[in-house]
Amino acid sequence: LTLITAGESHGPGLTCIVDGLPAGLELDRDSINRDMQRRQLGHGRGGRMKIEKDGAEVTSGVRHGRTLGSAIALRVDNRDYKNWEERMNPWPVEADVPEVHLPRPGHADLVGAWKYNQTDIRNVLERASARETAARVAGGALCKAFLSALGVEVRSHVVQIGSVHAPEPATLTLGDFDAIDEDPVRCLDKAASKAMVGHINQQRKANESIGGVFEVVAFGLVPGLGSHVSWETRLDGRLAMAICSIQAVKGVSIGDAWDVAGRPGSQAHDEIFYEDEHYARHTNHSGGLEGGMTTGDPLLVRGAMKPLPTLTKPLQSVDIATHEPAQALRERTDSCTVPAAGVVGEAMVAHVLASAYIDKFGGDHIDDVRGALDAYRTRIGWT
Ligand code: EPS
């Protein structure tokens, strides 16, 4: 299942192509657009989000609300393009467009300019921008629709913003997430949420940007997605890549990862029981993955996001045209995007899981996938 994106932050628009979904899958336009809007939410967003009202237009691969089995293309317009038509026009313009020469520490600016032989950093930063995640979320919404049809639901929440941590919930259920998007930082704990909002306000006033940690949770997975037999089919690795590929994410963890590293083995694993003719676990330290395969328990994946590299009080840098010391590029920016990154994390996890279902159950039509899944569930007694 491939998901590719194209598009620059202030160009005419973004495109996502998803290829490999079975035919006959029912899609709902509103739920795709709901995800597009959820990605725009969160306390700490900047001026750009007042301009964009994201929605995804399907231009191929779908007819009368059902997939055709062919590649699906989604178009997301950049409303802001009207303010950037000269600077970002795909074709030559009369106007004299100034180049950007001041790389931001922490951004792709400097290395991208070296690597792609650019004198104008804008030729790098436009694609490196996290605006690209709007296209991922559009494609991810299709993966989520496929997973939903197989009984899998993917959610996310924020567990840390800057120095403020939410208390660790003992267990999570799907119902816990019903009102998550109504919270200003998409946090499940009200007191922590309030402290997070306060922290963002305080740091923003100090011209700082703020990072944090989000968690993606998937419910309803069948055991045995992914595989232990070769490194590239281990689901832990695929999820880590998917999460770490999100702009500004520097770390990923699965289950109690960093905590179990410091515990003795007797407190690190999930003991196996047989109750009411079913296998059962009373803990989920593994985050729903053993041997690179899903266990059938909720999948728990976290992404750690660094503070955004565009600062309203810029850091020390160098002008790449003159090599003179200078302050880094100062652009309009968000101060905190961890709540939005959680929504992007859902899309990325949904893509990895949808791929794993297709790898295991194949199917040109959604009914074939369901048939193969049901037969497997019956065989392993997972009912
Ligand atoms: C971004 C900078 C800001 C963000 C943008 C990512 O945009 P601008 O430079 O236009 O103010 O708002 O994110 C989005 C536009 C988005 O849709 O998420 C950056 O430099 O990465």
CA distance 175 to 35: 18
- Give the phi and the psi of residue 60 in degrees, each rounded to 5: -165, 160
Whether this model's pTM surpasses 0.80: yes
Tell how far the Cα of 130 is from the centroid of ligand 1, in angstroms.
Answer: 6
What number does the ligand 1 atom closest to the CA of 47 have? Answer: 11
Element (H, E) at 238: helix 235-244
Nearest to 123 by CA among 152, 149, 143, 103: 103
ipTM for the predicted complex comes to 0.95
Domain count, the chain: 1
3-class state of residue 352 by DSSP: helix
Does the annotation flag 310 for ligand binding? Answer: yes
- CATH of residue 364's domain is 3.60.150.10
Look up the domain containing 71 and give its range.
2-380
Would the annotation count 129 as a binding residue? Answer: yes
* Strands 278-280 vs 2-6: parallel, antiparallel or unpaired: unpaired
Q: How far apart are CA 235 and CA 274, in angstroms?
A: 25
Q: How many CA atoms lie within 13 A of 308 on its CB side?
A: 29
Comparing CA positions, the residue from 148, 186, 145, 142 lying closest to residue 166 is 186
Closest ligand 1 atom to residue 130 Cα is 21
Report the run of H or E that residue 156 belongs to, with start and end.
strand 153-161
Compute how many other C-beta atoms are within 10 angstroms of the C-beta atom of residue 273: 10
pLDDT in tens, the chain (383 residues): 999 999 999 999 999 999 999 999 999 999 999 999 999 999 999 999 999 999 999 999 999 999 999 999 999 999 999 999 999 999 999 999 999 999 999 999 999 999 999 999 999 999 999 999 999 999 999 999 999 999 999 999 999 999 999 999 889 999 999 999 999 999 999 999 999 999 999 999 999 999 999 999 999 999 999 999 999 999 999 999 999 999 999 999 999 999 999 999 999 999 999 999 999 999 999 999 999 999 999 999 999 999 999 888 889 999 999 999 999 988 788 999 999 999 999 999 999 999 999 999 998 999 999 999 999 999 999 98
Ligand 1 neighbours, Cβ below 6 Å, are 9, 46, 48, 52, 80, 129-131, 134, 310, 331-334
Q: In angstroms, how far is the first alpha carbon of the chain from the final one?
A: 27
Q: Which amino acid is at 349?
A: V
